[in-house]
Amino acid sequence: MKEIIMDTSFILTCIKQKIDFFEELIGFKIIIPLEVIKEIEGLSISNSSAQIALALLNKANYQKISLGKGIVDELLINFAKKNPLIIIATLDKEIKKSVKNEKMVIRGRKKLEVI
């Protein structure tokens, strides 16, 4: 089973564009870092997409991991480099440039695609 790790921007964009990534990614092992969840919690104070994301994350079945202390994007990059077979779900240009892993992106506002 392929594993996919998600960043904050990917999750929030899926919510804004009404993409149920849990439904779309059946057959993948979904990993969401605790640090990403904390970022979404912080954003949920003033962001309705983040509030919806938190509600979805509280109901869904996925693996939670801790990446450690530091800047979340850098932690994700380091994790991806150490785990070259994992797919990274991100819209962040810096993360995409920094890792050679396969990436999950949103195409045409409604379709998830591995590149």
| Per-residue pLDDT tens over the stretch 46-87 | 999 999 999 999 999 999 999 999 999 999 999 999 999 999
Per residue in 17-44, pLDDT (tens digit) is: 999 999 999 999 999 999 999 999 999 9
Query: Is the model's pLDDT at 110 over the cut of 90?
Result: no
In whole angstroms, what is the distance from residue 5 CA to residue 46 CA? 25
| Res. 109: pLDDT tops 80 | no
- Straight-line distance from the first to the last Cα atom of the chain, in angstroms, rounded to the nearest whole number: 17
Q: Given CA atoms 30, 32, 102, 21 in this order, what sign does their dihedral have?
A: positive
What the block records as the tokens of 66 is: 């801790």
Mean pLDDT score, 94-105: 94
- Torsions phi, psi for 67 (to 5 deg): -95, -10
Q: Distance between alpha carbon 44 and the CA centroid of its chain, in Å?
A: 16
Banded pLDDT at 108 (limits 50, 70, 90): confident
Q: Domains of the chain, with CATH numbers?
A: 3-114 (3.40.50.1010)
Query: Model-level pTM greater than 0.85?
Result: yes
Find the helix packing angle between 8-16 and 34-43, rounded to 10°: 50
DSSP state of 79: H
